Amino acid sequence: MDVGGGNAATLEHDLVTQLLLSRGVPPEDLERHRNPSLRAFLPDPSAFRDMDAAAERLAQAVLTGEQVTIYGDYDVDGATSAALLVRLLRDLGQPSRYYIPDRLLEGYGPSGEALVRLAEEGSSLIVTVDCGAMAYEALEMAHGAGVDVVVVDHHKCAAVLPRAMALVNPNRLDESDLGAAHGHLAAVGVAFLLAVALVRTLRAQDFFKGRAEPDLFSLLDLVALGTVADVAALHGLNRALVAQGLKVMARRENIGMAALIDASRLSRAPTCSDLGFALGPRINAGGRVGESTLGVRLLTTEDPDEAKMIAAQLSALNEERRAIEAAVQEAAEAQLAAQHNRAVICLAGRGWHPGVIGIVAGRIKEKTGKPTLVIALDEAGNGKGSGRSIAGVDLGAAIIAARAAGLLVAGGGHAMAAGLTIAPDQLDALADWLDERLGASVTAAMANQAVLLDLALAPRGLAPALVEAMETAGPFGMGWPGPRIAVGPLRLVKADLVGTDHVRLIVRGDDGSSFKAIAFRAATTDLGQALLHRSRDRRLWLAGRAKIDDWSSRPQAELHVEDAAWLD
């Protein structure tokens, strides 16, 4: 394949056009999606319910010097949302406090006791980020204590909203059409829209006469990290936020973010994949198995030495999290045999660490292809659960309905992920109820599962220039899948295990070319076993994602395998 000079530009343009069209972009809208910018995709924040009220209240706090506390969640979306508002208020000359609850001691969401305590300590305005949409009791307590609360969230809402001075959430049931069209935003995306609205409100009040406006664009690295780590759908505005945020991240202007990149051992500018698999897990580790405030501290510090120390601490906690996760996953998988008839996998165990159950749920969901709940039981049998779903099955809505049905103490989430608190005598009832409610949608979703291909190649066609051309249609992620290609016909030259359960391959085509491939976490799957044990003389096609292996001095294209088909 000749991809030199002008031909490379033509290849890139044609490939990107086809990738955009296959992802549903209308022909007349190709240019806007080819280079996603904020100018092209950013909506008017005032279109969202309560956005203007939230911006006015925050502006009042800035103008009068009130004490403001940002109350975040302990995951990456919560940490980046909190850090974004803390940094913005600091740039506006309004230093603010932040509060991140302890996952084990306080659980998810605003605690009424904590909100009252913050009010007693002088905060007249509390902004909750990535939580609060279902915090009825806590917000009533805050109201009783005389403190204003602005909720910035993206989780599913019920018909009746909790009491708040303003509740900004594109997933409100009474949201405007334009606002509801942005229901795929992570909380950090909603927080960024609030930042835009706040600066606009202050501008209208002549706040910036004699002082520079804050650079909102510089906050997009936080938006990109939170959006990708929360597995938000990367289409529309989210794709623009992440595309531009990666550019900001490459500039390394945020001292804490730069330290995080260094701790992740990245010697190049981070990619979308790095946010999900290298940077995000380190921030998450603080909330899962360590100190919940570490992520916000890192992303807001202006001290390089402190940033380096926190980043190293988060990396160590991430290694500890991996060990804990492996033990819980092994115990959870031991229960799978009894779940084969379930539409929704429900696993529970005493002593399981609540900080890793969401990750384990995601792993088992990938292995079984079914929505999965993993529940950690305390000594009294009470459970804290986390769930991950599959495309086409709205787990968050089901969990909210289960709470309304009296099956849960607490619960909420969004389509692809949910959390819950459950009494010990309701575990079996919940599992039966979820099967009844979601069985049909799970069956339909699984029946529609297929390996959809963007391109079929001869082996010699898998080249770095092709991969680089396809990557220009990114960033890729949930809702905007990376290109999946099929390569063949091939013969296996070598197949072995690497790490604990990855299958590494070297394959050769009939055209004489060869390349490396790897099937991650596939050793015990049907695919992995077939690759390891079938005859090397049989020809096959491999399907998966093409990537650049840049570990060697000369970058090579490789394939991350998702499926295989033997020809004979």
Mean predicted confidence (pLDDT) in 374-382? 93
Give the CATH number, domain containing residue 470.
2.40.50.460
pLDDT in tens, 12-57: 678 899 999 999 999 999 999 999 999 999 999 999 999 999 999 9
Q: What is the DSSP letter of 72?
A: -
CA distance 344 to 359: 16
- Which residue range is the domain that position 487 belongs to? 451-566
Question: Comparing C-alpha atoms, which of 273, 237, 298 is closest to residue 33?
Answer: 237
pLDDT in tens, 158-201: 999 999 999 999 999 999 999 999 999 999 999 999 999 999 99
Which of 318-322, 402-406, 433-437, 531-535 comes out lowest in average pLDDT? 531-535
Q: Do 129 and 98 meet the contact criterion of CB atoms below 8 Å apart?
A: no
Q: What pLDDT does 552 receive?
A: 67
Is the pTM value of this prediction over 0.85? Answer: yes
Residues 231 and 354 grouped into a single domain = no
Q: Is residue 13 part of a domain?
A: no
Hey, what are 88's tokens? 């913005």
Q: What pLDDT does 283 receive?
A: 97
Mean predicted confidence (pLDDT) in 369-390? 94
Q: Is residue 7 part of a domain?
A: no
Question: Comparing C-alpha atoms, which of 258, 259, 221 is closest to residue 243?
Answer: 221
The larger pLDDT score, comparing residue 136 to residue 288, is at: 136
443 to 271, 370, 415, 438, 449: CA distances (angstroms): 35, 9, 17, 9, 10
Structural domains of the chain, count: 3
Residues 385 and 476 grouped into a single domain = no
Q: Is residue 59 part of a domain?
A: yes
pLDDT band (50, 70, 90) for residue 3: very low
Mean predicted confidence (pLDDT) in 142-147? 97
CA distance 266 to 272: 13
Residues 425 and 462 grouped into a single domain = no
Residues 405 and 497 grouped into a single domain = no
pLDDT band (50, 70, 90) for residue 452: confident
CA distance 33 to 226: 21
Q: What pLDDT does 14 receive?
A: 85
Q: Is residue 282 part of a domain?
A: no
Say yes or no to pLDDT of 4 above 50.
no
Q: What pLDDT does 555 receive?
A: 85
Mean predicted confidence (pLDDT) in 71-97? 96
Residues 421 and 487 grouped into a single domain = no
Q: Is residue 471 part of a domain?
A: yes
CA distance 221 to 223: 5
Say yes or no to pLDDT of 86 above 60.
yes
Residues 427 and 529 grouped into a single domain = no
Say yes or no to pLDDT of 10 above 70.
no
End position of a domain, from candidates 417, 441, 465: 441
pLDDT band (50, 70, 90) for residue 9: low
Q: What pLDDT does 500 receive?
A: 82
Q: What pLDDT does 408 receive?
A: 96
Q: What pLDDT does 427 receive?
A: 95
pLDDT band (50, 70, 90) for residue 101: very high
Residues 389 and 489 grouped into a single domain = no
Q: What is the DSSP letter of 110?
A: -
* Helix segments in 252-336, DSSP class H: 255-263, 272-274, 280-289, 294-300, 304-333
Question: Comparing C-alpha atoms, which of 313, 391, 384 is closest to residue 350?
Answer: 384
* Per-chain mean pLDDT for the chain: 93
Say yes or no to pLDDT of 6 above 50.
no
Radius of gyration of the chain (CA): 24
Residues 363 and 460 grouped into a single domain = no
Residues 426 and 501 grouped into a single domain = no
Q: Is residue 510 part of a domain?
A: yes
CA distance 177 to 182: 9
Residues 200 and 93 grouped into a single domain = yes
Mean predicted confidence (pLDDT) in 122-150? 97
End position of a domain, from candidates 441, 475, 502: 441
pLDDT in tens, 319-348: 999 999 999 999 999 999 899 899 999 999
Residues 430 and 508 grouped into a single domain = no
Say yes or no to pLDDT of 548 above 70.
yes
Q: What pLDDT does 372 receive?
A: 97
Q: What pLDDT does 12 receive?
A: 60
452, amino acid identity: L
Question: DSSP of 133-191, one letter per residue?
Answer: TT-HHHHHHHHHTT-EEEEE--S---SSPPP-SEEE-TT-TT--HHHHTTTT--HHHHH
Say yes or no to pLDDT of 311 above 50.
yes
Give the CATH number, domain containing residue 66.
3.90.1640.30
Q: Is residue 408 part of a domain?
A: yes
Mean predicted confidence (pLDDT) in 266-285? 94
Residues 398 and 460 grouped into a single domain = no
Q: What pLDDT does 265 receive?
A: 95
Q: Is residue 352 part of a domain?
A: yes
End position of a domain, from candidates 233, 250, 267: 250
Give the CATH number, domain containing residue 391.
3.10.310.30
pLDDT band (50, 70, 90) for residue 5: very low
